[in-house]
Structure 1
Amino acid sequence: MADYTIKLLKKEEIADETMAFHWEMPDDFSFKAGQFGDFTLIEPSETDEEGNTRAFSFVKGPSENELVTATRMRDSAYKRVLGNLEPGNEVKLDAPHGNFTLHKTESTPAVFVIGGIGITPVRSMIAEALHKQTDHPITLFYSNKTPDNAPFLSELEEMAQKHDHFTLIPVMTGDDIGEWSGETGHIDEAMLKRHVTDVANPIYYLSGPSDMVQDMYELLEDAGANEDNIRMEEFSGY
């Protein structure tokens, strides 16, 4: 781990109320897919009791050689200042952190059960595994209210079309989802077992809002998953 001062290269809206930030990559920086960094604003124009630092996962895999974060833009002092940053503005980065990374045994399936912006570390892990052509069977349940609310959905759909090892199951929970033909409603045991034949076998990765992560943990336990094979990354206050 180390501290860096890095510049913003560009920012873009990638889903409803969701922004991606592209940062300068420090020369000597390395990280594992799934890890995150602490981003601290420098002399922000406003602050609040939550402080000037937030943890953001790296969206891209190491082999993609880009430093990108993404977040829902809520009405907090930190997010207002972050959203108003312009290319060339600097922040402090303390990274890398975290052990929410893909397991090494390629014969053991990986099943991701993800809500919303919890996709950020998972997109990194899946992209890196596909780039390295590992043999992990990967299944991603990806829950959002609507397709417009789902960061990186089209990119993940393209990955799934190109790679036989990767199965994408997008799930929409909202009422206004248009002509959606995929899974709808909340992920439950019946949905899980439609797509995962041997529930006890995979290693599971849960990422998203804290309440959803806890609910999915209980669902997996009830469905027969091995609790030692459930890994979690909770996104609180994003």
Structure 2
Amino acid sequence: MREEETEGTTTFHFERPAGFQFKAGQAIYLTLPASIGADNRGRMRTFSLSSSPHDRDLTITTRVSDSAFKKALQALPLGTEIELSGPYGNMVLDERRPAVFIAGGIGITPFRSMIRDAIERGLRQRMVVFYSVRKAEDAAFVGELEALAEHNPRFELVPTITGPGEVPPGWQRGKVTNEMISRHAGDLADQTFYVAGPPKMVEGLKQMLLASGVATADFHIEEFTGY
């Protein structure tokens, strides 16, 4: 099944293989059928899972693009068998410390999985999500995350826009900064950071956190590139 989350962002649902287990925040490899053919990067790509480990299906959520792989994935008939391998990745929740998630655009996907899993398991740690998009209409899952924050006092959502559009009520304008993080999450030294998004954004936030004294062991990063 496919469903459109925002204009240009699609969630793909896959039947979960029997016995397949994963930790929230991990990724899988998807390999297109041999009949599809391959581009110069082959038929396999990595995708973070946007579903919770408690869900019946496995889901990935991705920006639609003009790449050969994305076009082929979008065009697959419903019911097509596709090869899945994994899970992979070490960006999983440290349950011992408060968590700060910083997502740029489609980088929200592993965090959606992690937050839903933490809430479904009744974890008590504090979680703050800074969700940065160019315009509010680009923010996949924002309604769901707002509802989770409304009903879970230990979870806060801080959506921001970096473009020139109108700022919706409850949103902020501008890039995520140390001051913004401190205002909502407290002392940077007391948190574990999870950063996912475009490579330039991820690298900038990494350098900002390092310059602020955050230890390398206290943040996890994942770069999202288009393919």
**Contact 1:46–1:81 (8 Å) recurs in 2:** no
Contact map agreement 1:35 1:100 (CA 8 A) in 2: yes
Partner residue, 1:136: 125
2:68 maps to which of 69, 74, 77: 77
Q: Which residue of 1 aligns with 2:109?
A: 120
> How far is 1:64 from its partner?
2.2
1:219 offset after TM fit, Å? 1.4
Deviation at 1:166, TM superposition (A): 0.4
**5+ long unaligned stretches in structure 2:** none
Q: SS of 2:176's equivalent?
A: coil
Of 119, 136, 157, the match for 1:168: 157
Match of 2:134 among 145, 153, 157: 145
Which is further off, 160-169 or 35-44?
35-44
Q: Alignment partner for residue 222 of structure 2, among 206, 229, 233?
A: 233
Count of residues paired in the alignment: 227
Do 1:22 and 1:68's aligned partners in 2 also have CA atoms closer than 8 Å?
yes
Cross-structure match for 2:78: 87
Equivalent position to 2:54, from 60, 63, 75 = 63
- Residue identity over aligned pairs, in percent, reads 37
Q: TM-score, normalised on structure 1?
A: 0.91
CA contact (8 A) 2:13 2:58 kept: yes
The residue number in structure 2 matching 1:33 is 24
Describe the superposition over 1:49-81 as per-residue Cα deviations: whole angstroms up to 9, x where unpaired. 122111111111111232111101111100000
Instruction: Give structure 1 regions of 4+ aligned residues with deviation exceeding 4 angstroms.
Output: 178-181
d(CA) in 2 for partners of 1:32, 1:134: 15
User: Is the strand fraction higher in 1 or 2?
Assistant: 1
Separation in 1, partners of 2:34, 2:188: 49
What's the counterpart of residue 18 of structure 1? 9
Q: State the match for 1:186 in structure 2.
A: 175
Determine if the alignment matches structure 1 residue 53 to structure 2 residue 44.
yes
TM-score with structure 2 setting the length? 0.95
Give the CA RMSD over aligned residues: 1.4
Looking at structure 1, the residues matched to 185 and 168 of structure 2 have their Cα atoms a distance apart, in angstroms, of 26
Q: Which runs of 5+ in 1 are unaligned?
A: 1-9
Deviations 1:171-225 (A, max 9, x none): 1111123545521111122222221221111000011111111111111122332
